[in-house]
């Protein structure tokens, strides 16, 4: 493992030059696999989970493969020199782990046809560019089930970042699952226009609590909201990773992103020469989405329900996006018994009935 | 919508306003001495991690606050040496301080990620601090009262003390102050260190009071808002207090509007507001027209005595 950190002291300075300077001579006989990360690996969320996946490659294929990563890469043109640099250092496979790297990945892939690229959560592919994603909303359905059963007010808060399909899917899955337990359940949504702003996340959580929410779930990356819930003696869920260390009493469970198996599988395919461009959207069945251990505050009957949802996703008998589904205005969007197709889920931009939102 | 609801909303506003008020007061004194330090965001981050780290080791949040003040002041002294001793450009050096503060706080915080401290509890007994209504007055963190006390104290210092008069003289006309024997450099060192300490305390409000944890860049741009606020307040402490709470109310209104399902303005507008405000404030500084008349005359200029 070679660490190239642009974070320390020199943020924003010429990334490519620095990355080159910072990398020591590498063992030439190993195949190199590169990663670019949006945040710091210590964010205890999104990037942290991707880095765990990278470590899984080290653990399983460390004798044949060397991994390199660059953290804090902005989702703009500055990602291009970073990608070129990784390719020039000899990386044969490069994972670009955020939606905003989509066009940069495709562009650099065009310049290095011998290098394979894997772009996370995007939709643009090429002969040497694959895409992969995770069905986070399956985890949201489990959280919604728990919240719907445990909320005494029937009003739940959802703290999100932006109105993008991933968040809309999460909100809808959470609300629909909660309504299965409590048909009158209402989900109040606040989008704070940031993935990471602890003071604003905290203030938004206080606001939702003041408006009557007794459970707040987060779709932003910091554990701040859980700490507010802890101080108020209420409950919530971790996002991206088990956050129980930050709020031992408030933390009921969490959605964990598990990227390791996919990263190992794709690296093996590269070594075998069987790598081909593909589009992967895995979920609980494949082990990409996992639910962290339940806290002592989750009653046994609620655990049984939540486990039922998980089991249903694993054997294919459960899908939260099964009709009838109504939108916020009460229009029937999915007919009784129909299941929304993956293609429709990927571009969803409307909220289900019972979601109270500003847009 | 009862009185409880209102009290809870006001407590949220106080939480949003206090760190900006603390950092703004510090920067106001710095600018009154004729120095423009754009490194507030960086000093706040250094304060946030210093305060958190000291609290982790000492289990005492009061030492944590001292640590935050020391951390912020130390960071500001790097800036002070560069602009006072070496006469480097204040704007560029201040920006560099923000970048440096962001980086060094991440580095310092490496071993503190994922840890928590006890939130900085109220100083008043629970009968008052947790009382249904009285918590409006007694239920806040000690840092909230500290910030509020610092407002009249700073006013008094600037207006009614000899030291404050000297500080203002240095900011208005450094050459004259120098010619009658005051040490411009020493006064500015002291002002910059005070500004750093206040920014540090403002920063630790995030890592020790609101969300008692450390996360990289957790101040999320509040330092820039504090900077803009000093200009909007016309370098007056009373207006700074008003401005900080105005900002807190604005931000809370946004969240309440969203959570209640109102969409009278697109959320992107709200998100852009602080930056738009900063741009307007910075153009005020540079225009120096009637709006900038209150600005200290030597603001941002290097001190170059002829001898």
d(CA A256, CA B261): 30
Most confident of A121-135, B194-208, B280-294: B194-208
Task: Kindly list the residues from chain B whose CB atom is less than 8 angstroms away from the CB atom of residue A246.
Answer: 114, 116, 213
pLDDT band at A17 (very low <50, low <70, confident <90, very high): very low
Other beta carbons less than 10 A from residue B126's beta carbon: 12
Residue A28, pLDDT score: 55
Which of residues A103, A134, A165 is at a domain's end?
A134
d(CA A246, nearest CA chain B) in Å: 6
Average pLDDT of chain A is 89
Same domain, A308 and A196: yes
Q: Mutate one of B46, B101, B213 to test the A interface: name it (highest A CB count within 10 A).
A: B213
Q: Does A111 lie in the same domain as A22?
A: yes
Q: CATH number of the domain that A147 lies in?
A: 3.40.50.2300
Q: Please give the tally of structural domains in chain A.
A: 2
Whether the predicted pLDDT of A1 surpasses 70: no
Residue A12 has what pLDDT? 42
The rounded distance, in Å, linking the Cα atoms of B23 and A188 is 33
Q: A323 and A199 in one domain?
A: yes
Say if residue A3's pLDDT is above 60. Answer: no
Model pLDDT for residues B42-92, shown as the tens digit of each residue: 999 999 999 999 999 999 999 999 999 999 999 999 999 999 999 999 999
Q: What is the mean pLDDT of residues A243-251?
A: 92
Contacts of A39 in chain B (CB under 8 A): 216
- Mark whether A16 and A158 lie in a shared domain: no
Nearest to A206 among B8, B99, B222 (CB): B8
Q: Is the pLDDT of residue B198 over 50?
A: yes
The mean pLDDT value for A172-195 works out to 93
> Do both A191 and A325 map to the same domain?
yes
pLDDT of residue A22: 43
Residues A178 and A64 in one domain: no
B262, A358: Cβ pair inside 8 Å?
yes
Look up residue B268 and give its two tokens: 């992107």
Q: Which of A199, A209, A227 sits opposite B16 (nearest CB)?
A: A199
CB pairs under 8 A between A and B: 144
Please name the member of B5, B12, B103 whose beta carbon is closest to the beta carbon of A7: B103
> Where residue A46 falls among pLDDT bands split at 50, 70, 90?
confident
pLDDT value of residue A18:
44
pLDDT confidence bin for A359, thresholds 50/70/90:
low
Looking at residue A314, its pLDDT comes to: 93
Which among A101, A134, A167 is the end of a domain?
A134
Report chain B residues whose CB lies below 8 A from the CB of A245. 114-116
What pLDDT band is residue B122 in, cutting at 50, 70 and 90? confident
Note the pLDDT of residue B64: 95
CB contact (8 A) between residue A194 and residue B103: no
Looking at the predicted structure, is the pLDDT value of residue A282 above 50?
Answer: yes
Partner-chain residue, chosen from B106, B217, B266, that has the shortest CB–CB distance to A8: B106
Which chain B residue lies closest to A157 (C-alpha atoms)?
Answer: B259
- Both tokens of residue A19? 């990355």
Query: Is A69 inside a domain boundary?
Result: yes
Average pLDDT over every residue of A215-230:
92
Q: What distance in Å separates residue A327's CA from the closest CA in chain B?
A: 15
Q: Do A199 and B206 touch (CB under 8 A)?
A: yes
In this structure, of A92-96, A164-168, A269-273, B277-281, the range with the lowest mean pLDDT score is B277-281
Residue B253's pLDDT is: 86
- Measured between CB atoms, which of B213, B255, B267 is closest to A246? B213
Tell me what percent of the residues of chain B surpass a pLDDT of 90. Answer: 62
pLDDT class of B293 with cuts at 50, 70, 90: low
Q: Do B110 and A42 touch (CB under 8 A)?
A: yes
pLDDT, average across residues A129-139: 93
Write out A81-126 in H/E/C secondary structure.
Answer: HHHHHHHHCCEEEEEECCHHHHHHHHHHHHHCCCCEEEEECCCCCE
Residues of B in contact with A196 (CB under 8 A): 215, 217, 220
pLDDT given at position A123 = 84
CA-to-CA distance for B46 and B195, rounded, in angstroms?
13
pLDDT(B211) > 70: yes
Domain that holds residue A170: 136-257+289-356
Using an 8 Å Cβ cutoff, are A73 and A36 in contact? yes
**pLDDT for res A15:** 43
Examine residue A158 and state whether it is found in any structural domain, yes or no: yes
Supply the Cα-derived Rg of chain A in whole angstroms. Answer: 21
Kindly determine whether residue A202 and residue B211, on different chains, have CB atoms separated by under 8 Å.
yes
Over range B233-250, report the average pLDDT: 90
Write down the pLDDT at residue A194.
Answer: 82
Q: Do residues A121 and A229 share a domain?
A: no
Determine whether the interchain pair A9/B114 forms a contact, defined as Cβ–Cβ distance below 8 Å.
Answer: no
- Does the residue A277 lie in any domain? no
Question: Which carries the bigger pLDDT value, residue A148 or residue A196?
Answer: A148
- Provide the shortest C-alpha distance from residue B62 to chain A (in Å): 20
**Average pLDDT of chain B to the nearest whole number:** 89
CA–CA min distance B164, chain A (Å): 34
Q: Which of A85, A117, A134 is the last residue of a domain?
A: A134
Q: Give the model confidence (pLDDT) of B8-41 as tens digits.
A: 899 999 999 999 999 999 999 999 999 999 999 9
In a domain, A281, yes or no: no
Q: Tell me, what's the pLDDT at B280?
A: 77
The shortest C-alpha distance from B56 to chain A (Å) reads 14
CB A226 within 8 A of CB A246: yes
What pLDDT does B263 receive? 67
Q: Do B8 and A210 touch (CB under 8 A)?
A: yes
pLDDT for res A139: 95
A124 in the same domain as A151? no
pLDDT of residue A195: 81
- A193, A199, A357 member nearest B268 (Cβ): A193
Which of A188, A191, A227 is closest, CB to CB, to B212?
A227
- Give the pLDDT of residue B287: 65
Residues A210 and A92 grouped into a single domain = no
Q: CB–CB of B113 and A44 under 8 A?
A: yes
Question: Model's pTM, two decimal places?
Answer: 0.85
Q: Quick check: is A196 in a domain?
A: yes
CB contact under 8 A, B258 and A191: yes
Residue A340: pLDDT above 90? yes
> Does the distance separating the beta carbons of B267 and A358 come in below 8 Å?
yes
Question: Both A29 and A168 in a single domain?
Answer: no
Q: Which of B206, B220, B257 sits opposite A358 (nearest CB)?
A: B257
Interface test with A, best of B110, B258, B265, B272 (most A CBs within 10 A): B258
Judged against a pLDDT cut of 80, whether residue B178 lies above it is answered with yes
Q: Which residue ranges form the domains of chain B, and what is each CATH number? A: 3-294 (1.10.3470)
Window from A35-44, A308-317, B93-102, B266-275 with minimum mean pLDDT: B266-275
pLDDT at A186: 95
pLDDT band at B170 (very low <50, low <70, confident <90, very high): very high
Confidence check: pLDDT of A111 > 90: yes
Contact state of A207 with B259 under an 8 Å Cβ cutoff: yes
Q: In 10 A of CB B234, how many CB atoms?
A: 16
């Amino acid at each position: 493992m070679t660490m190239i950190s642009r974070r320390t002291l020199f943020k924003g300075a010429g990334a490519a030059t620095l990355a080159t300077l910072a990398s020591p001579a590498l063992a030439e006989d190993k195949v190199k696999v590169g990663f670019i990360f949006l945040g710091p690996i210590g964010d205890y969320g999104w990037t942290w989970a991707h880095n765990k996946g990278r470590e899984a490659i080290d653990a399983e294929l460390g004798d044949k493969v060397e991994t390199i990563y660059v953290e804090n890469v902005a989702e703009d043109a500055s990602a291009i020199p970073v990608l070129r640099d990784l390719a020039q250092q000899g990386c044969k496979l490069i994972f670009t782990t955020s939606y905003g790297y989509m066009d940069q990945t495709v562009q650099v892939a065009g310049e290095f046809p011998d290098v394979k690229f894997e772009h996370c959560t995007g939709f643009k592919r090429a002969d040497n560019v694959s895409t992969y994603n995770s069905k986070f909303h399956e985890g949201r359905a489990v959280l919604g089930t728990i919240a719907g059963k445990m909320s005494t007010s029937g009003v739940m808060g959802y703290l999100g970042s932006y109105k993008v399909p991933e968040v809309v899917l999460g909100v809808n899955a959470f609300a629909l699952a909660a309504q299965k337990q409590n048909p009158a359940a209402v989900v109040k949504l606040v989008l704070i226009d940031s993935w990471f702003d602890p003071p604003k996340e905290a203030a938004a959580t206080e606001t939702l609590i003041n408006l009557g929410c007794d459970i707040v779930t987060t779709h932003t990356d910091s554990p701040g909201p859980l700490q507010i819930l802890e101080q108020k003696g209420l409950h919530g869920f971790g996002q991206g990773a088990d956050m129980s260390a930050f709020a031992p009493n408030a933390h009921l469970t969490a959605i964990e992103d598990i990227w390791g198996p996919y990263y190992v599988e794709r690296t093996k395919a590269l070594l075998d020469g069987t790598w081909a461009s593909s589009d992967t959207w895995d979920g609980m069945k494949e082990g990409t989405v996992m639910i962290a251990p339940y806290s002592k505050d989750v009653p046994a009957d609620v655990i049984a329900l939540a486990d039922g949802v998980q089991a249903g996703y694993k054997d294919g008998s459960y899908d939260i996006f099964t009709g009838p589904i109504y939108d916020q205005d009460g229009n029937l969007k999915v007919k009784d018994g129909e299941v929304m197709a993956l293609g429709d889920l990927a571009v969803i931009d409307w909220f289900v009935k019972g979601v109270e939102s500003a847009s | 919508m009862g009185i409880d609801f209102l009290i809870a909303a006001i407590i949220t506003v106080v939480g949003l306003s206090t760190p900006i008020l603390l950092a703004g007061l510090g920067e106001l004194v710095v600018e009154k001495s004729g120095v423009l330090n754009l490194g507030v965001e960086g000093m706040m981050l250094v304060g946030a991690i210093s305060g958190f780290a000291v609290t982790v080791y000492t289990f005492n949040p009061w030492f944590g606050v001292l640590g935050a003040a020391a951390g912020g002041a130390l960071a500001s002294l790097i800036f002070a040496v560069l602009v006072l001793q070496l006469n480097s450009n204040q704007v560029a050096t201040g920006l560099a301080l923000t970048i440096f503060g962001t980086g060094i706080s991440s580095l310092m915080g490496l071993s503190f990620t994922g840890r928590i401290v006890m939130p900085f509890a109220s100083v008043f007994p629970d009968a008052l601090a947790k009382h249904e209504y009285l918590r409006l007055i007694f239920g806040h963190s000690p840092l909230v009262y500290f910030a509020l006390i610092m407002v009249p104290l700073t006013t008094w210092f600037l207006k009614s003390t000899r030291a404050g008069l000297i500080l203002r003289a240095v900011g208005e006309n450094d050459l004259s102050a120098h010619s009658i024997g005051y040490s411009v450099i020493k006064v500015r060192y002291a002002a910059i260190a005070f500004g750093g300490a206040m920014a540090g305390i403002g920063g630790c409000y995030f890592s020790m009071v609101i969300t008692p944890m450390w996360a990289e860049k957790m101040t999320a741009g509040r330092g820039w808002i504090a900077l803009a606020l000093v200009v909007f307040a016309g370098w007056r402490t009373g207006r700074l207090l008003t401005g900080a709470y105005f900002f807190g109310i604005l931000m809370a209104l946004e969240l309440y509007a969203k959570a209640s399902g109102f969409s009278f303005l697109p959320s992107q507008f709200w998100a852009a507001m602080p930056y738009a405000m900063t741009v307007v404030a910075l153009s005020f500084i540079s225009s120096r027209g009637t709006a900038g008349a209150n600005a200290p005359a030597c603001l941002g200029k290097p001190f170059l005595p002829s001898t």
